[in-house]
Amino acid sequence: MRASVYIATSYDGFIARPNGDLDWLPGAEASESDGSGADGDGEDYGYAAFIASVDHLVMGRNSFEKILSFGGDWPYQIPVIVLTSKGIEIPSSMQDRVEVMFAEPTQVVETLAQRGAKHLYIDGGLTIQRFLRAGIIDRLIISRVPVLLGQGIPLFGELSTDIQLKHIETRSYESGVVQSEFNVL
């Protein structure tokens, strides 16, 4: 099974403002309203191809609640696993597509592998950090947005050991976004 991250950060490494706001992302209003990930000019930064390659999305509770706050239709057609140690209410309209788990990353992977999962999309700051520390992430696709926030929620937290990366490709877009892809060694 493979596990990949596809995420945007500010140039100083934050995935959100301290309060969780994402208003600094290109086309934040467009992507929040329709869930497409596209910016206001229709650029999707490879997201459509990426999401077509995965069969399950694993995210943390904060990410789940943020996506719900956008309103509109649920943007994911694949099964979504929400990791949380607290109770969370899944809207009835999503109960056939969203499942809550309270488990360590290795247990999540084992459970989903038994169900036939082949490629996981890991999303959300703390969830990504936990899966990285567990050695489960295979690929990172990080889009750096040309903005400095100065403070916020960091993508990467403390590590007990170095994590070596192999650069695969870097792409640049007219918006100034620079996207780099790495394999985790």
Q: What is the pLDDT of residues 4-13, one digit of tens each?
A: 999 999 999 9
**Is pLDDT at 33 greater than 90 in this prediction?**
no
Q: Please, how many CA atoms are within 13 Å of residue 134, restricted to the half-sphere of its CB?
A: 18
User: Is pLDDT of 39 > 70?
Assistant: no
Assign residue 27 the CATH number of its domain: 3.40.430.10
The range of the structural domain enclosing residue 15 comes to 2-184
Measure the CA–CA gap between 182 and 73, rounded to whole angstroms: 32
Q: What is the pTM of this model?
A: 0.91
For the chain, the domain total comes to: 1
Report the run of H or E that residue 180 belongs to, with start and end.
strand 178-184
